[in-house]
Amino acid sequence: MCLLVACSGTARQIEIGPPPAKQTQGVFAGPLCSGEACKCREGGGDGGAGTPEQAGYKRFEVRLASAQQLWIKVADSMMYKNAEQASACYYVDLPIGDTAVEMRASDPNGVSAEWSIKELGSETKSWYDSLTFNCGNPGVCSFDELDTKKVEYKDPKRDRCGSVKIKGLIWDTGRSPDQQYPSELLVRATLNVYKYVPNRPHGADCSKKQQEEFDADNPKM
């Protein structure tokens, strides 16, 4: 399959291959998961997702949403959502440091895709927006929409109350017959998980100055 590099300044073509197999395979964490199946959290706090028992790891929610089938690979775990599900959730524990992420959508009539990864604060029981990528959901992703994301994701804004920074976010696309909507979408990124333990809830003022003031008023025991 011959595809164009969407984030490049030139129109060179590459091979990205067919979509992955229609299956979920990996190691999933917490009471909401059983084997390779998980259900989405409900209610406040951790929503039943629990926190990691292993030191040096943090718990994350991976959510896929679309009227189409979607895939996402986080580290060595592959997650698949079929077209019969409006959304699907999975929970994984990730170590401090870099974790590779690969997201894939495929539909000959144009893709519609939304992926989100949220970090759970073990102390705050708050969920932080680590990475969200949406193109066309609900609806159909267009090349014009992807063009606007070149600026948005040139320097991905991170949830400063959380402990994750996004690096190297890029995407590749294929073309549908009308040349307006991609029939394939492959997104790659790296999650850089800091050792820092979030101590303020999502939505708080977590600018550097405010964080320094908060830490000074709330020293670690």
Task: Give the pLDDT mean for 4-18.
Answer: 47
pLDDT, tens digit, 9 for 90 and up, residues 191-214: 999 999 999 999 999 987 566 655
Whether the per-residue pLDDT at 177 is higher than 80: the answer is no
Residue 11, pLDDT score: 32
Task: Give the pLDDT mean for 27-48.
Answer: 97
Task: Give the pLDDT mean for 21-39.
Answer: 97
Domain ranges of the chain: 2-217
Residue 179, pLDDT score: 75
Question: What are the start-end ranges of the H helices in the chain?
Answer: 143-152, 208-217
- Note the pTM of the prediction, 2 decimals: 0.88
Residue 17, pLDDT score: 79
Q: How far apart are CA 208 and CA 2, in angstroms?
A: 45
Are the C-beta atoms of 146 and 182 separated by less than 8 Å? yes
Q: DSSP assignment of 134-195, as one string?
A: EEBSSS---HHHHHHHHHHTTS----TTSSEEEEEEEEEE---TTSSS-SEEEEEEEEEE-S
